[in-house]
Chains A and B, each alone.
Chain A
Amino acid sequence: MTEIRTDKAVKSSGLTRRTALKGLGAAAGLMMGPGFVRYSQAQSAEPIRIGFQCHRTGIGAAYGRWYERTTNAAVKLINEAGGINGRPLEIVVEDDGTDPKRGAEVVEKFANQHKVDLVYGTLFSHVVTGSAPAAGELKIPYYVVSEGYHVASGKLNRYCIQPGITDVKAQVRSVAPWIASNIGKKVTLVFPDYAFGHDHRDFFGPAFQEQGGEVVAMLPIPPTETSFTRYFPQIPPDTDAIYHVMVGPAVLTFVKEMGEFFGSQGPALFGFIDSLEAVDLASPGLEFLEGSHFWEGSPRYLQPDASEAQKFYRDAVGIDENGASVNDPKDVSTAAHMFGCWETLYVIKAAMEAADYKGPEDRAKLIEATEAMTEFAEGKEHPQGDKTFNGKIHQCFGHQNISLVENMKLKVVHRTSIEDGIYEPEADYMTMPL
């Protein structure tokens, strides 16, 4: 256990958990960042308060930890650069317990008790869908970092926005062309038999057919299954590739048994890193993944050609070249997703500046300003890459990474175009009243 003093932690990991809380303005003068002088000279030094709906406890806690670190890193930088409209950002964390009912309670608390300007940061989709109605009723902007298709589907409301991370439909669509032209035309899908797996089944099949590919077999695995060997004989022998999206504690067993079944003879593998996010790829049992490919939202391992923005972001959050905490090499980050927090905060900043946001009375203006955005340029604000934003469906679109497992690390071998993931919008939030 290494103790790291505050000053070092700020330097090396970006910050500690409370740097951003520590009254970034909450109680003026207590601990102001270097930007304090600027705040005091600004028209209003009242902080902009962002309610962070965080999975601190419950099944999402491991994600919550990294979402919080990324959030704190971005907030610190924004504040050092003068805040938003001359006002510092203050993060108010509430734990939603990764529970939709509690999520809705928390949104209400944010609006009525903490009187924050907006709510932000939710990952798990069932919490998003459970909390969204409260945000809509209270007319409080709700910026989620969830990756679900729920925002773009039009099933939420005008106050829910996902500007910092692409959704699963776009992710799945965008890998189809590369698989068809690089791995093979005949794919077997192996997925857990419930909504998450069904998303992949429903989004990948049509997109792959458009590319001249064919899904030759589908293997829905019951969610309670913990041994998989008996399913493998159902994979047709002419399969070029297995598209796998298994999740849960038995993922390692799945990979290990697949290795035992196929040996060196098997079809190619393509997976989503969701299965192994924050799990060290060099773990025993995962050897069979060597040479296979994964989707990654943002690369976990530092790539030789990484942009300056990407390096800057990684240093600020405090992850090393393996994507683990610089203070704790065993603590592998949720790199493929957590950049979304960083980018969402910068979208909020840009939207607040565009709307000349003054306070809760400007919440509707903030939504409209976000909807009016169309592009985010790659840079320190958007280190994962440039993106487009569709105001009608409140969803951004971006590049995806396809990475090869080489020496038990992920090496990006292809970066999809934004167009690869674009689909026909199915909704228009802008027609809903604010």
Chain B
Amino acid sequence: MASAFVAVSRGEAMAHASERGHVLLLPTHYYVAGGALAVSLSFLVLAFLSPRPLEEMARKRLLLLALPSTGRTLASLLSFAVFACLVAAGFLGSRDPLSNPLPLAVWTLLWVGLTLAQGIFGNLWARINPWYGPWRVVMALTGRGEAGEPFRLPKAWGYWPAVMLLFAFAWFELVYLAPDDPARLAAACLAYWLFSFAGMLLFGYEDWARRVEFLSTFFSMIARLSPFEAKEEDACRQLALRLPGAKAVDSDPLPPSGVAFLLLALSSVSFDGFMRTFTWLGLIGINPLDFPGRSAVILPNSLGLAAMFAALVAVFLIAVALGDRMAARPAGLGQSAGLLVWSIVPISMAYHFSHYLTALLVNGQYALAALSDPLSKGWNLFGTAGFHVQAGVALGAQSAWMIWNAQVAAIIGGHMLAVVIAHVIAYRIHGSQRDAATSQIPLAALMVGYTVFGLWLLSSPTAG
């Protein structure tokens, strides 16, 4: 059997590793040091400046245009139709996860593409999720008003149902043996759609979408980063421009379960990077050059995913609690954590971008091709079925350099923005420049640490 493993390592030399091999030759330690310095300096500069102008700027809104107030139901119904087609394709189309549109739509277009779009353009998901339209239709047909739900979700549950579902989702994506298998994914999507739809009918759309349906929860939180804000004013919907992250600053404090949700979103993406590093594989006794496949690491990776979450919650709470104690007028851990956790949003977005950039560049192309021929019947609906996927965008030393620099820019930029957001929030909590600065020392240190961790994840040797 010893002789039987020749090819394993060969793939290792190539699969994701060749690009990482190019990164290993770059002076990444300078980037890491520079990143840490940039984030530290942002904090120092803020500490010595009055936060008031920044706080005032965060309130500013530049009206852009009036939006049509209708169309949400129609958009969602269309999206539901697309979703139904995708699920059908999952069951009936090609078994190849790079030819079947469903895995590509879920893992690349939705989980990567839409997350980034939410961060840039705002809460598109509220309009294009596949539940709202069908829910409205059922409500109209049954003559029930929007408030007429038969049951209410217990308030004490907070966001815990969404936390549990997000964990299940992350586990399915990162640990489960075959998350890309089109039929299994179709079954999972269908079951989840039915579960959520039933929940919305029984407990009301808004509450369910906010606290249980984890995609809506996640996407609405990520959308707080977007500079675009749609608001009902004087009986008309208006689109306004704000500072990026200003909506996060304005957000209400999250309950502990909401804090947990945002930290889980960040920690699961972090673990996605960490579980491939030589460091983690060494820790769980796996030879990184001879990766045995997902089936061999289900238990350690399940525990690792949970441990990464627990660790991030612990350091975040310690940093916030310490900071709150250092302030002259403490606001209490619950209040501070519930507000300051909004500063995690840009970091989460930066991790999402950096970590999935390559997947987006390459699998996005597979998605374009697959959507043109969803059932592998030789169709060419959008003229892209014959698309030659240019994997080269993510291959070679030059691409590695460009991707690495884009990742660095995102990680550092995300953390700098986080420092700014946390600073303004702290000023609002404590009401003084001095307290805003002192209370933020531990959290700023955490953000410097997470910058270093993020850049290390992207520059250390990995398997697969």
Contact = CB atoms under 8 A, between A and B. Distances in A.
A284 B177 contact: no
Interface string A1-35: 11111111110010011100111000100110000
A146 interface: yes
B12 interface: yes
A247 B388 contact: no
A100 B392 CA distance: 28
B12 A252 contact: no
Given A21-B96, A93-B94, A284-B397, A60 B6 contact: no
B7 interface: yes
Contacts of A97: 177-178, 180, 293-294
B21 interface: yes
B50 interface: no
Interface stretch (B139-147, B330-338, B379-387): B379-387
B327 interface: no
Most buried by B among A30, A251, A279, A284: A279
Contacts of B4: 125-126, 128-129, 148-150, 153, 155, 195
A156 B1 CA distance: 10
Interface string B420-432: 0000000000000
Given A93-B95, A125-B7, 9 more contacts: A62-B14, A196-B5, A198-B2, A223-B287, A247-B12, A247-B13, A248-B17, A324-B392, A328-B391
Contact of B3 (A61, A62, A99, A195): A195
Given A192-B289, A249-B24, A278-B14, A124 B8 contact: yes
A330 B387 contact: no
A216 interface: no
Contacts of B217: none
B452 interface: no
Nearest to B95: A94
Interface stretch (B235-243, B253-261, B370-378): B370-378
Interface stretch (B118-126, B311-319, B456-464): B456-464
A58 B392 contact: no
Contact of B293 (A3, A21, A127, A202): A127
Interface in A245-284: 247-253, 256, 274-280, 283-284
Contact of B12 (A23, A59, A99, A150): A59
B357 to A, nearest CB: 15
B391 A331 contact: yes
A400 interface: no
Nearest to A99: B293
A278 B396 CA distance: 9
Interface string B148-180: 000000000000000000000000000001101
Nearest to A55: B11
Given A23-B378, A223-B289, A249 B20 contact: yes
B278 interface: yes
A63 interface: yes
Given A63-B14, A195-B2, A249-B17, A17 B8 contact: no
B388 A153 contact: no
Nearest to A256: B25
A119 interface: no
A252 B461 CA distance: 12
B268 interface: no
Most buried by A among B13, B281, B292, B396: B13
B287 A194 contact: yes
A85 interface: no
B127 interface: no
